[in-house]
Chain A
Amino acid sequence: MTKLLITEITRMGPAFCVIGLQHDQQKFQSIRPVSATANSWLHFPHQRGEILECSLTPFCGAPPHVEDRISTHGFRKRSTVAENDVAGYLRKAECSDSLSGLFECRIYENKRGSGTHALPGEARRSICGCRTQNLRLELCGNELRATLVLSSGELLRDLPVVDRDWLDFMDAALADSRGANRAARFERFLNSQFHSKIMSCPHHFARIGLTRPYREVCWLMLDTLFPLPQTDWLEEF
């Protein structure tokens, strides 16, 4: 049996993608448990920060999703780790301060519009943590997008935010029950309080992931953003 600390749960259409950390011989390594039939889970009842016991095959997935392991049994919850500790463990796993270091490959810009991608044949992994000098979230045509500056000074623009907690927060912020001008109010929050909450948080940390190959490229996305949103923030806007 393997013990996995669940570090990210991301939305992939109607399903969820899950990544956890495995502690093995003083090394923290990202592992993505997948079912035998799909890369994502239609139902995943666990939360980030939970330590789950599970049974995984030892075979790596195809590059760049080398973190994939097939889960052969269900998950059993063993304990829970606090949010700041999860971020602390993530800092000890795959990390990079530069764009080329994220997936150990070149990163290409979309020649047509926005977004950046890696090539499946070049990327060596599909998830990596990073420290950011600055970070901004933006609602663009009803889609949540992130722009961030890495420690190297390199910038990543228009990353789709796929973090389940942040998308749930956006949905709650834009719910009909919240009255008029919801999007404008949410935008104001993102442009004001959000920034100080995120950047001043001692365990601020982000993880960038790669999508599955689509039309021969893997797009970069913001998998995880610490600190996680809090429900009471909704009362601020």
Chain B
Amino acid sequence: MARHPIRSPGGEDSFRRIVDACFRGEAGSSVPLPGDTADLIETGVLDSMAWVSFLRAVETASGTSDLGSDLNEQPASIASILAALRSSNKGSLPSGDKKRGVAGSVSSSAAFLSGSSSVQGSRVVPSEEVDRAFHMPVGKLRKRAGIESLAYAADGESELALGARAAEEALRAASCGAQELDWVIATSETHHDYPALAAQLHSRLLVREDCGALDVGGGCLGLLNALAVAQSLIGSGAARRVAVITADVHSRVLTPERVAGEFGGLFGDGASAFLVRREPGSPVGASYRLGDFLFGCAGQYAAAIQVAARIGGGLDVQFDGEALSRAAITRLEKVITAVETRSGISRASVGGFATHQPNPRLLTLLAKQCGVSPSAFPPICRTAGNLGSSMCGAALHAALQNAAKMKPAERKPIFLASLGPGLLFGGSWLTPA
């Protein structure tokens, strides 16, 4: 699942920590850690199912894609795993390594997030009104999903308008002029027009002509995809400053005429923007360093949410709310666990969780499942609804705002975790610079 294996700042210690954590996750904390050379299958510590499961967990946590293959014809031991991880780390081969050239994780070159903003549609609609519009029993969205109101775009507010406003505010917060940008990366799950959103934002923001403009997809995972691309552009030396912008106006796509029932009523409108740059901004403590990204796709959930355009303008929506809820909680928790293992940062010491927020009820459930306080999740979806690709961005901006109220030395890391249809998933972390 990885392109590059983890760069191990602590060397052997990082590998050991990852292997130990994954073993505990698989075998349980009460099982004593076996000796390094013990064959875990022959000694009965793990069965073959658990062995492969353990390897997959180590692959995800370390970002090493081919661990299972590297361990063929090797004993099923911790020593073998550590040796394979060491060997992968030595051969951190970027683009030319065909063996590891698969989707997965992106290692962290120094990239700093130094300005952020989030805006929402200015028309606030009580959820009861949305219930009625989508022909649902009045009170359903509030009672079942915990949504009190939805933020809808007013006349004159589009993906472009909301995205541009968020971008201008983020650039202002970072004291960065639009002409300093090298790339504009946009993501939206509702904008399907030509020119694409990034091109429209490029013009609207008055960036340099030789500033690149790129749209990335991924639905609600779009922000993480875009941040990972920005980090890579900076890491490769192709850019110094990148604006990452999300914008979604669901209220004009998922209308009651096109989508019946609960699905359409869950979504609101909004945008978010971030400035990613090579060096931390000033003052000290105002920036966050982006960590590694991990990505993947859990295709067993592909059928839980499918939307396709119908001839004549309608939408075919396949939405198994219950299955999707279960999948979302399971996957987000798994991503948070992987981010925790990879970063070495305990979830208990995290200041905020900027995650996808399908609805407030699921967010509470996720916090409970993760064993962390619900207050660590900025409650955006309660009053704005699910903002699509802008959801994680709105939550991240809120977490950064909360951190900004603290003294620099007291600021804590932030975890990112999100999902998209497919079921795409991704995660990362930010640490105060």
Contact = CB atoms under 8 A, between A and B. Distances in A.
Contact of A111 (B54, B76, B330): B330
What does DSSP make chain B's interface, helix, strand, loop or mixed?
helix
Contacts of A139: 68-69, 72
A142 B72 contact: yes
B48 A160 contact: yes
B73 interface: yes
A140 interface: yes
Nearest to B322: A106
A109 B298 CA distance: 9
Contact of A115 (B53, B67, B298): B53
B68 A155 contact: no
A164 interface: no
Interface in B383-417: none
Given A112-B53, A141-B55, A145-B52, A155 B72 contact: no
B57 A143 contact: no
Given A99-B303, A156-B300, A143 B51 contact: yes
Interface string A181-221: 01110010000000000000000000000000000000100
Contacts of A106: 323, 326
A124 interface: no
B93 interface: no
A152 B323 CA distance: 15
Nearest to B22: A113
Contact of B330 (A109, A140, A156, A183): A109
A98 B69 CA distance: 30
Contacts of B71: 140-142
A117 to B, nearest CB: 10
A85 B148 CA distance: 60
B52 A152 contact: no
B55 A140 contact: yes
Nearest to A181: B73
A112 B300 contact: no
B75 to A, nearest CB: 9
Contacts of B76: 141-142
A187 B99 CA distance: 12
Interface in A118-173: 138-143, 145, 149, 152-158, 160
Contact of B334 (A111, A142, A145): A111
A122 to B, nearest CB: 13
B129 interface: no
Nearest to B84: A141
Contacts of B52: 113-115, 140-141, 143, 145, 158, 160
A75 B255 CA distance: 64
B20 interface: no
A157 B55 contact: no
A160 B50 CA distance: 11
Contacts of A79: none
A156 B298 CA distance: 9
Nearest to A153: B302
A182 B300 contact: no
A54 B334 CA distance: 48
B306 to A, nearest CB: 8
16 contacts: A99-B303, A113-B55, A113-B57, A114-B52, A114-B57, A139-B72, A141-B68, A141-B72, A143-B52, A152-B302, A154-B302, A155-B302, A160-B52, A182-B73, A184-B72, A187-B69
Interface of B: 22, 25-26, 48-57, 67-69, 71-74, 76, 298-303, 323, 326-327, 330-331, 333-334
Given A110-B53, A114-B53, A155-B298, 14 more contacts: A106-B323, A109-B327, A112-B26, A112-B57, A113-B25, A113-B56, A113-B57, A140-B68, A141-B67, A142-B73, A143-B48, A143-B52, A154-B300, A154-B301
